[in-house]
Chain A
Amino acid sequence: MSKRIEVRDLNVYYSDFLALEDVSLQIEPRSVTAFIGPSGCGKSTLLRTLNRMHEVVPGAHVEGEVLIGGNDVYAPGVDPVLVRRQVGMVFQRPNPFPTMSIRENVLAGVKLNNHKISKADSDNLVESSLKGANLWEEVQDRLHKPGASLSGGQQQRLCIARAIAVSPEVVLMDEPCSALDPISTLAIEDLIEELKQEYTIVIVTHNMQQAARVSDKTAFFNIAGAGKPGKLIEYDDTDTIFSRPSVQATEDYVSGRFG
């Protein structure tokens, strides 16, 4: 249930504006890859191109290829809906559906795909997904409470449970801890460590300690200036990036000399 991601010669545009230029990288299955870099460098944009969520912005388009498990996400005839069903996503701020209970939130994706699911099956799925997201203990006795009644960290884990309930190949996380307090952040980081056993995980983060803590590989992005496209500067094992990067800009960034 975990696939390799290959990005080949990818350019991302918002209308005429080139947001990200010539990115190529490979992400191994069952690993955590962190995207780091200053604001506006295109790391979130790249993440969103992996499940075509960038298309939510009118006029956004790409050149190049993104292969997930060997299949091009941008091949003619590809249905973005099918891509997103196999690539889960967790957002910057927790976004459980406000009108749904905790249980309904977990089942939301499954209900869309398969209208008929037995009570027993859905019970099992809710339990296993919430356990997978380390949330089961905290919410098992109030599954019918609204999802929005949880704390921020719990909501974010609920969103992770919702994402893994549809058994995706890949889980994308767009700064999943930036709206959370340190303790919740720690809980999410532990969870990422566990999820790695089953999923390919890509995480965008502003927090370099977090990248160092959770990821196996790290990609550093940068921009030359406002209005210029973002570029992939360096991509390597996390240890290498943080201890002996081969590019000066990377070293400046990870050592806090700029950005």
Chain B
Amino acid sequence: MSDSKIVDTAARSSTASAKSAPLEGRRARRRASTLSTGDRVFLGFTTGSALLIMLILAGVAIFLIVKALPAIVADWPTDPELHAGPTLAFGNFWAYVAPLLWGTLWVSAIAIVIATPVAIGIALFISHYSPRRLAGILGSLVDLLAAVPSVVFGLWGIIVIRPFLRPLGDFLNHYLGWIPIFAGQPSSTGSTILAGSVVLAVMILPIITSISREVFLQTPRLNEEAALALGATQWEMIRVAVFPYARSGMVSAILLGLGRALGETMAIALIISPSIVFSVRILTEGGNSQTIAANIALNFPIATSLQRDALIGTGLLLFVVSFGVNILARYILGATGPGAASRRARREKKAALSA
């Protein structure tokens, strides 16, 4: 909360000081001249660490590209390593990765559809419905959900969620089987996309909840009181004062949840019984679309060298996609997040005054 304020003032002071560039130059020179040796060493270390972070991230991209390149450029049908095992059926890298990308997006999308209403409900409960004294405890209870290792949720999914959802799967398949996503031969083990997505939804609940809760709590008290004083019920107050204020925050919360879901490996690898296909079915056995991360986890130990390079190539694509989703989320949160409305208003007011 204080962070966004700091950023806000930072943004304003940057526009102010941009006009007074000479002043800033003076300031910089003064800084340099007054540094003692100890100061200079310390400054070097801290700046070096900051630069190292840039280096690491660049390293991630470069090493993945270098390692993946041989598999991406290879001629798959004639290559002895790639024309075998898990990569046998594919003509080239893109034919291999496309259905995996589809599966990743599809499974994550279903998880988001399941998780979003629940997460927003939880966030509202904590911020606006629970007794204030309990809010902290309830919040950390949800945060505890984020602390549980994903492999534990995966194992839990295998023995609890799979059998639990089987009757629901059978029901949906029997009565709504004419809808493509429920079609096909229903799974007898429950190793379906439905089960995987439900576990995935549980795992992304905390991230969506905590960000939504934060933006809900940031709703200015004055706006809430204005709504209540007009005779709004609690729910109307939330709709009039809280949701409009928090809308962009909720969108980026969902996007960050999506980013988390895209890269989640263990729950999917343990639960879903997959194949590398384009399929929307979520109740079948074997015909479930596979995700990039789970495909890597399942095949990496048994893959040959060049097959591993192909898997690294798919990982590179996963990196790029979740990179994009995260940037979008941060952009929305930064550009239109809490405080942005008043920032925009200030800008407009300034424009009106100068006009």
Contacts and interface: CB of A to CB of B under 8 A. Distances in A.
Is A in direct contact with B (CB under 8 Å) within the complex? yes
A97 B224 CA distance: 9
A100 interface: yes
Interface stretch (A107-115, A127-135, A215-223): A107-115
Contacts of B224: 56
Interface in B145-183: none
B244 A95 contact: no
A51 interface: yes
B246 to A, nearest CB: 10
B231 A146 contact: no
A108 B227 contact: yes
Interface in A130-189: 145-146, 148-151, 159, 162-163, 166
A69 interface: no
Interface string A55-91: 0101000000000000000000000011111101101
Contacts of A243: none
A148 B342 contact: yes
A58 B222 contact: no
Interface string B222-244: 11111111111100100011001
Contacts of A53: 225, 228-229
A148 B229 contact: no
A95 B345 contact: no
A98 B225 contact: no
A58 B247 CA distance: 27
A249 B33 CA distance: 61
A81 B342 CA distance: 28
A86 B229 CA distance: 9
Q: Max chain A CB contacts within 10 Å: which of B220, B226, B233, B342? A: B226
A56 B228 contact: yes
Given A56-B225, A148-B342, A149-B345, A95 B231 contact: no
Contacts of B232: 81, 84, 112
Main secondary structure of the interface of B (DSSP, over half): helix
A209 interface: no
Contacts of B229: 51, 53, 84, 88-89, 91, 163
B241 A97 contact: yes
B349 A151 contact: yes
A122 B76 CA distance: 68
Q: Max chain A CB contacts within 10 Å: which of B223, B229, B232, B352? A: B229
B295 to A, nearest CB: 43
Q: Max chain B CB contacts within 10 Å: which of A86, A93, A99, A100? A: A99
B225 A166 contact: no
Contacts of A146: 341, 344-345, 348
Nearest to B231: A85
A148 B341 contact: yes
Contacts of B247: 99
Nearest to A113: B231
Contacts of B133: 58
B230 A112 contact: yes
Contacts of B132: 58
A166 B131 CA distance: 31
Contacts, number: 88
B106 interface: no
Nearest to B221: A56
A97 B244 contact: yes
B102 interface: no
A61 B348 CA distance: 42
A58 B131 contact: yes
Contacts of A108: 227, 230, 240
A91 B352 contact: no
B342 A98 contact: yes
B226 A84 contact: no
Interface string B241-267: 100110100000000000000000000
A95 B230 contact: no
A84 B348 contact: no
Contacts of A99: 244-245, 247, 341
Nearest to A82: B231
Contacts of A86: 231
A125 to B, nearest CB: 14
Contact of A98 (B223, B228, B230, B349): B223
Given A83-B231, A98-B220, 20 more contacts: A53-B229, A81-B233, A84-B231, A85-B231, A91-B225, A91-B229, A93-B222, A95-B222, A95-B226, A97-B227, A97-B241, A98-B245, A99-B244, A99-B341, A112-B230, A113-B231, A149-B349, A151-B349, A159-B226, A162-B230
6 contacts: A97-B244, A112-B232, A113-B231, A146-B341, A146-B344, A163-B230
